[in-house]
Amino acid sequence: MSRHRRLATVAGHSPRDRGRRLRVAKGPRRWQRRQGRTFYVFVAPWVIGFVILTLAPIIYAFGVSLTNYDGSSSFWRFIGFRNYVEFFTKDTDGWASLLRTLGYAAIVVPLSVAGGLALAILVNQRIRARGALRALFFLPSVVPVVATAITFRLIFNRDAGLFSGLMGLFGVHDVTWLSDPWAFYALVVMTLWGLGGGMIISLAALQDVPSELEEAARLDGASRWRYIRSILVPLISPVLYFQVVTGIIAALQMLVQPLLLAETNRIASSAQVPTSSTLFMVKVYNEFFISNRFGYGSAMLWIFFLVILILTLLLQRLSRRFVFYQVGGD
């Protein structure tokens, strides 16, 4: 921001720039500087925390990724980018888990966003017990992950699970649903149980849509479905886009759910996570805590960060075409 522009606003033409308007009243530069300093005092906790708790671990991981550190011994060497080369050339399991994770996201994210939107539209209508329905649909998404995992371990339990019992009615007996290849789908089902979180976000957006629009669409002879498709969805597309982005990031870094859902009860060791639910972060976790390959695991983490970065940028590009931003904002 140039000095000229700042001086130009002193006259108070820009109603948003309070600080600058106040400069006139209080004696120019000193006020400006004091407010600037005060700002940094107020935001200091976050800035310091960001540097120490976010930047430092990420940079540290990059340093470790260039070594063969095993997590405990002091005999480690700098090995350049060998870990990265190993992942890209040799680690077929790692690649498989990365692709599996992308597949998982490709299934879970559209279903959660669409399901959440459908529920939001449902409970945005004049429907009986609307408040209770909203709460009940939302509730599963706030249940702690450990409780959710135990619940679905019971549902898919081989001998006494509800799902096994239902399948038994169709003559399918004694299938260990929490092992390969079914564990993947159990994980998908468990994730979808929490789609009420997205419903609440969509619902908040739906409530911002002026009711006159629906009235006008109806008078013009548009069907309910047409109204939803051509007016409602475009109007709240920024919120849906937000859910897609955060949903993809959440899906890609899925770790605790596959660990806890694994049929084994010795949860501390994740080596027993079935292959079909060994998502990328599970693989990273194994490299760190089963194989003690901290260097290699760190390299995988950095590859992961880059994958997320690339996906986010791609989505941002795509969003220009599909997301409709209201001019002027709210």
Partner 1 sequence: MATVSQTDVGSSHKASAWSYIGAIVALTAFGIPVIWLILTALASPSQISEGTAGLLDIHPRWQNFVDAVTMIDFTAYAGNSLFLSTLVATLSTISSATVGFGFARLDARGRKPLFSVVVATMMIPNVALLIPSYVLFSRLGLVGTYWPWVFWGLSGFPYLIFLFRQFFAAIPVELEDAAIIDGCGWWRIYLLIFLPLSRPVLLTSFLLSFTMTWGDYLAPALLLNLDNTTLAVATATGYLDPRGNGLLTVQAAGALLYMLPVVVIFLYAQRYFMGSSIGSGVKG
Site for partner 1 in 243-272 (CB under 8 A): 245-246, 249, 252-256, 260, 265-268
State how far the Cα of 282 lies from the Cα of 181, in Å rounded to an integer: 16
The DSSP secondary structure of 224-271, one letter per residue, reads HHHHIIIIIHHHTHHHHHHHHHHHHHHHHT--HHHHHHSS-S-TT-GG
Q: Does 22 sit near partner 1 (CB under 8 A)?
A: yes
CB of 17 to partner 1, least distance (A): 7
- Judged by CB under 8 A, the residue of 73, 74, 92, 125 near partner 1 is 125
For residues 99 and 316, which CB has a smaller minimum distance to partner 1 in the complex? Answer: 316
State how far the Cα of 132 lies from the Cα of 155, in Å rounded to an integer: 25
Q: Hey, which residues between 284 and 313 contact partner 1 (CB under 8 A)?
A: 284-285, 288, 294, 297-298, 301, 304-305, 308, 312
Residue 243's nearest CA partner among 97, 144, 146, 114 is 114
Q: Does 105 sit near partner 1 (CB under 8 A)?
A: no
Stretch that binds partner 1, among 57-65, 89-97, 105-113, 176-184 (CB under 8 A): 57-65
Residue 305's nearest CA partner among 68, 55, 21, 77 is 55
Name the phi and psi angles at 67, rounded to 5: -125, 180
CB of 104 to partner 1, least distance (A): 14
Distances (CA, A) of 39 to 20, 33, 47, 317: 14, 10, 11, 34
Q: Hey, which residues between 175 and 234 contact partner 1 (CB under 8 A)?
A: 193, 196, 200-209, 211, 214, 224
Stretch that binds partner 1, among 77-85, 89-97, 104-112, 165-173 (CB under 8 A): 165-173
Q: Does 99 sit near partner 1 (CB under 8 A)?
A: no
The SS3 call for residue 78 is: strand
For residues 96 and 245, which CB has a smaller minimum distance to partner 1 in the complex? Answer: 245
The Cβ-side half-sphere exposure at 235, using a 13 Å CA radius, reads: 20
167 by Cβ neighbours in 10 Å (0-12 / 13-18 / 19+) ranks as middle
Stretch that binds partner 1, among 74-82, 84-92, 95-103, 319-327 (CB under 8 A): 319-327
Q: From the CB of residue 305, how many other CB atoms can be counted at a distance below 10 Å?
A: 13
Size of the site for partner 1 (CB under 8 A): 123
- Judged by CB under 8 A, the residue of 2, 29, 40, 321 near partner 1 is 40
CB of 163 to partner 1, least distance (A): 9
- Judged by CB under 8 A, the residue of 73, 131, 219, 321 near partner 1 is 131
CB of 3 to partner 1, least distance (A): 11
48 by Cβ neighbours in 10 Å (0-12 / 13-18 / 19+) ranks as exposed
Q: With contact defined as beta carbons under 8 Å apart, do 289 and 304 qualify?
A: no
Q: Does 36 sit near partner 1 (CB under 8 A)?
A: yes
